[in-house]
Amino acid sequence: MWSRYRELLGRGRSLGRRAWRWKSVAANERALQYRVGEQIHGFTVEQVTAVPELFLTAVKLSHDGTGARYLHVAREDSNNLFSIQFRTTPMDSTGVPHILEHTVLCGSQKYPCRDPFFKMLNRSLSTFMNAFTASDYTLYPFSTQNPKDFQNLLSVYLDAAFFPCLRQLDFWQEGWRLEHENPADPQTPLVFKGVVFNEMKGAFTDNERIFAQHLQNKILPDHTYGVISGGDPLCIPDLTWEQLKQFHATHYHPSNSRFFTYGNFPLEQHLKQIHEEALVKFERIESNTEIPKQKLWEKPREQRVTCGLDSFAADPSKQTTVSVSYLLTEFNGSTREAYFSVGLQGIAERDIVTVKQIIDRTIDEVIAKGFEEDRIEALLHKIEIQLKHQSTSFGLALTSYIASCWNQDGDPVELLKIADKVSRFRQCLKENPRFLQEKVKTYFKDNPHKLTLSMSPEEDYHDKQAKMEAEKLEKKVNALSKEEKTQIFEKGLKLIALQSKPQDTSCLPALKVSDIEPKIPFTVVETTLTADEIPVQYCAQPTNGVVYFRAVSSLNTLPEELKPYVPLFCNVITKMGCGALDYREQAQKIELKTGGMSVSPHIIPDDSHLDVYEQGVLFSSLCLDRNLPDMMNLWSEIFNNPRFEEEEHFRVLVKKTAQELSNGIPDCGHLYASIRASKNLTPSGELQEMFSGMDQVKLMKRIAEMPDIKPILRKLPRIKKYLLNSDNIRCSVNAAPQQIPEASKEVEKFLKGIARSKKERKPVRPHVIEDPTFKPCQMKTHFVLPFPVNYIGECIRTVPYTAADYASLRILARLMTAKFLHTEIREKGGAYGGGAKLSHNGIFTFYSYRDPNSLATLKAFEKAVEWARSGEFTQQDIDEAKLSVFAAVDAPIAPSDKGMGHFLYGISDEMKQSHREKLFAVNSDNLVEVSNKYLAAGKSTRGQAVLGPENADITKDPSWVKR
């Protein structure tokens, strides 16, 4: 993955309350005993700092022999994390750090088998494994809850980073190569192939990505930030294998590294292993990777760039993006000097000047009048709630949070002292009420290093890109001698032979199935009937002063013609104002009193019947204990008195929603393909497509294009009448034990205060839908989109969660991905990703992501089934698939999410335990049997979908529907 972090809110395991308290002492107390100057396994302790508001102790060390820097964060969290990062400062756009990130993971001295990184996904119980290339550093993190697993993964990561094989064939596979379209036929034309090459072609179909990349390159043009670290597809083919090895030698050295560990495993063990397995083999060097300060401009600049047309844009004449950005010389952001950007998307080109004027005017107003106190308080409240909310991937969030600052020699420990910063900020405001206004004047108003960047689409943008690629290819091919062409053909055959060769993975460490806990800890939940028989589930958890509230309201009585508008209703219902509050005041109140309020469609497949499902809407929010009455009061107002009169604001929300859906396609294309492919397989499939598939994207585009939006606005109060009442609702609360009585009082008050339309209440879960007339049917759809790569989904109707064969199919999906599809689709096919998965709703899905192929990939899915039916896998393969499935099953669950399987999906801990036992029991015969029974051609109903460019082969085939 390249340069953009998603906030990875994982799911975590917490201990019982008393154990949690006691253990929190253990990890921190151990860390507090280290003394500055103490020497441990080749490292010297430089600083020990307690950060009580985050329940952690930071220990900073440096390695005596190499100068490698080390930060350990001790915290009572069983999900332990390791990461190593190197400052990587490329000076061209060949993508060298990104291709290197891929290639070091393809085999190392101690682990010479191909692709140990992907192989370890199936030999470990890791909760996270990945690698990231940012603009100026490369980061390799993993996390796990198992100490043996931690040592295994650490060994593989250390060897990959410091002693990789960097074989030429791996460079060709992962980076770029010239190869015949059909490698077995020298008569077919030569083309560019390679995983990173295709990944970046896919990345730059995303206009937001194009804009962000240009912005950074143009505001910081002088050094490494002026190039594309991930690689420009037109420059990637200029990189040589020699340059790749040279870049590794100069950048991947302990003297240019930063190590980070987090969690409750003992630090000494980590230091000993890192010192002995890697650092002791190196001498200190001067790492010349510093990034000089950007030379400041004397006057502002303006730049224009182009991008592809957005085929889902509501108004084709309004596809310009413009932003005004300022370089902030004294602040560190994701680059050495941060920059602040403000702008708009989806405007007409003629309005660029107006937008600039609005920005300038706003800055002047702020300097004159300052900010409202409530706005400042709302932001400080947001920081407080983020500190208290416990995510299970806190270690990953920390390593991402400190990476940039530490990379530029900032102090990562200072960054962790968030409470200090907040009180310092309050102090500054108190001493000088104009503190913020002066900052705005200095950094924005009087700052000559200011860039106005605008981006407008070009009709033939993608054609031009393709033409430049074709010219580059032609130039490369024309320069080849006959001999070199023969070598290319032979090299292509050699690569395929290597990819198809059975692997000896015995050199890699692995956990055993016997290392997996046989039983899951059960979560205590209590369901009471409140306010007229409404079920409320309470789950007491160490939530650290935060209350989590959820409710599900049924959609059963909603007339069919209103259903397509449910996602839009969910999106706007908390943003239009309620009661006495207009939409601005409501937004402010939500920020000031809660950690966010969200509403989304919720389709729940039945656990024992494929044609039965529950349809509803999920309401969720969180707040600090002290703000619970305010949060529940906000929900009451939203349910009882939502406002639907602000037509202009509604239009803005519609356009924003339509734009966001369109922006999301390049990142989620495989999900859209899978949703469409499963549309006709179960009754809930159609609803899924309506709510979150391409149908929804197209509907929102249509609404956003309407000159008169009133008819749509008038549908909202009608939906409200059926949805926002207590007829068919259930609620849940996760909070600290002492907070539950207060919470139940507030929830009861809320439920008594909302409308109900009928006198009689039905029992809970009468609201499942059963469609006896439903008949699944096959469908193949091709969505033609202006992308250079494809996203593919093929779905097969199998069995529900509690069925005997469900566990076998789940293991099979993992086995096919690891042992067959990864090789076929990524290594040989050059797609960025692909595999098989079994969803909770009993749909078995094959998918691929950023894929240069289409029908060849669908053929690979067929071959995968044949492979599975032949039973050509070993017991070791099955055990690895089990480890991988259990890593997902046993992913940690945060206190806020405990009991949610039961509340949201009706899956009890007993059902989970029974599923667990079935997973353990799966054997080779079961796997062959389910491949024959469900996946073989003609056995089960299946659907296929492709999102991607025009395709002559698909067009010729009448069984495909073109959209």
Q: Do 784 and 829 touch, CB atoms closer than 8 A? A: no
Which one of the listed residues 174, 179, 208, 880 is annotated catalytic?
A: 174
H-helix or E-strand spanning residue 535: strand 534-540
Half-sphere exposure at residue 539, Cβ-oriented, CA atoms within 13 angstroms:
27
Q: Determine whether 101 is an active site residue.
A: yes
The tokens of 107 are what? 């085999």
DSSP state letter for 2: B
Alpha helices in 678-771 (DSSP H): 683-692, 694-705, 710-713, 715-723, 740-753
Q: How far, in Å, CA of 634 to CA of 750, rounded?
A: 10
Torsion of CA 85, 90, 95, 98, to 10 degrees: 0
E-strand ranges in 329-411 read 338-347
Of 765, 805, 799, 807, nearest to 913 by C-alpha is 807
Q: Do 180 and 186 touch, CB atoms closer than 8 A? A: yes
Determine phi and psi for 809, rounding to 5 degrees.
-65, -35
Query: Which 3 state secondary structure label does DSSP give 7?
Result: coil
CB atoms under 10 Å from CB of 168, counted, come to 16
Determine phi and psi for 690, rounding to 5 degrees.
-65, -40
Q: How far, in Å, CA of 585 to CA of 528, rounded?
A: 35
Q: Report the phi/psi class of residue 206: left, alpha or beta, with left for phi > 0 and alpha for psi in -120 to 50.
A: beta
Query: Which 3 state secondary structure label does DSSP give 230?
Result: coil
Strand 43-51 to 320-328 pairing: unpaired
Which one of the listed residues 7, 46, 101, 471 is annotated catalytic?
A: 101
With a CB cutoff of 8 Å and minimum separation 6, the contacts of 75 are 24, 27, 28, 54, 55, 56, 57, 262, 263, 264, 394
Residues in the chain, how many? Answer: 963
Q: How far, in Å, CA of 573 to CA of 581, rounded?
A: 13
Of 824, 832, 836, 849, nearest to 947 by C-alpha is 849
Strand 833-838 to 843-851 pairing: antiparallel
H-helix or E-strand spanning residue 618: strand 612-624
Chain-centroid distance, C-alpha 171 = 27
Determine phi and psi for 177, rounding to 5 degrees.
-155, 160
Q: Do 285 and 65 touch, CB atoms closer than 8 A? A: no
Q: How far, in Å, CA of 322 to CA of 304, rounded?
A: 9
Of 230, 211, 184, 178, nearest to 305 by C-alpha is 211
Of 484, 487, 479, 499, nearest to 169 by C-alpha is 499
Taking CA atoms, 81 is separated from 102, 142, 267, 809, 826, in Å, by 21, 6, 12, 31, 27
Strand partners, 72: 59, 261
State the Rg of the chain over Cα: 28
Alpha helices in 724-854 (DSSP H): 740-753, 806-816
Q: Determine whether 174 is an active site residue.
A: yes
- The type of residue at 116 is P
Q: Do 562 and 779 touch, CB atoms closer than 8 A? A: no
Q: Do 371 and 532 touch, CB atoms closer than 8 A? A: no
Angle in degrees, CA 704, 708, 713, rounded to 5: 75
H-helix or E-strand spanning residue 637: helix 628-640
- The type of residue at 861 is F
Alpha helices in 239-296 (DSSP H): 241-251, 267-277
Report the catalytic residues.
Answer: 101, 174
